[in-house]
Structure 1
Amino acid sequence: MALISIDRERGLLTAEFQGLDKLWTFSSRLEIPLAHVRGATHDPGIAREPKGIRVAGTYFPGLITAGRFRRDGERLFWGVRNPEKAVVIQLSDAEHYDRLILEVDDPRATVQLIERSVARG
């Protein structure tokens, strides 16, 4: 699971991974400039979409999708065990990823936090 925070002063969205998710994703945190965040949606159905090619991370169908993937030229970062809590964060002008697909504790609150931060941009 990822903890999402917004640092307006530094202009960053941070996703910090907890527990074993650090191991599965091969990452402890991601920092994305807010200027590169286009928006977020709660999308439990995304787990049924093809993942693409795993670049680094962990994939056990139906159990966990974590790490870096490439699909149709798109760079994705996954961190999902429970698809019901999946949030998709759309990025633009990103150096590393086009979308982040992350499991969060409260998808609705996370989407609202991100959308408010993007709107203030």
Structure 2
Amino acid sequence: MARVSITDGNLVVEVEGSHRLWALKSRIEIPLGNVRGATFDPGIVHGFKGFKLLGTQVPGVITAGTFRSDGDRIFWDVRNPAGAIVIELADETYTRLIIEVADPRAAVDLIEQARRPV
């Protein structure tokens, strides 16, 4: 599972607990200007995840780490599909972050509100 926050104009994703080991990453920080949007999408886990570059994939159990699909790098950290959100990025190492959070609707709202101009 991951925790999402906004700090100093950046989206911060902190991978928590044993997921750090499975994903081989503990933190991702992205400038808000490079965040294209976020959606709640529990069904995304049923599609093709891509080819694992680093991390862990046990079908039906966990997908965590860096994957490549159609030339894009995608970061996954999902064990429970009910908490899955997708964060679309531009001009970053990853094209997408697909992560599990405790409250997906609140995380999407936080990201979308932070992206809006004041």
TM-score range, shorter chain: over 0.9
Counterpart in the other structure of 2:108: 111
Counterpart in the other structure of 1:92: 90
Per-residue Cα deviation, 1:43-85 (whole angstroms, up to 9, x for no partner): 0010011011100000000000000000011110000000110
**Aligned match for 2:37, one of 24, 36, 39:** 39
- TM-score where L is the length of structure 1: 0.95
SS at match of 1:62: coil
SS at match of 1:47: helix
Q: What is the percent sequence identity of the aligned residues?
A: 55
Whether 1:5 and 2:2 are equivalent positions in the alignment is no
What is the CA distance between 1:98 and its match in structure 2?
Answer: 0.2
| Counterpart Cα distance in 1 of 2:104 and 2:45 | 15
What is the CA distance between 1:120 and its match in structure 2?
Answer: 2.4
Whether 1:73 and 2:81 are equivalent positions in the alignment is no
- TM-score where L is the length of structure 2: 0.97
What is the CA distance between 1:116 and its match in structure 2?
Answer: 0.3
* Gap regions ≥5 residues in structure 1: none
What is the CA distance between 1:18 and its match in structure 2?
Answer: 1.0
| Counterpart Cα distance in 1 of 2:56 and 2:29 | 21
| Counterpart Cα distance in 2 of 1:22 and 1:59 | 14
* Gap regions ≥5 residues in structure 2: none
Per-residue Cα deviation, 1:60-115 (whole angstroms, up to 9, x for no partner): 00000000000011110000000110000000111x10000000000000000000
How many residues are paired up? 118
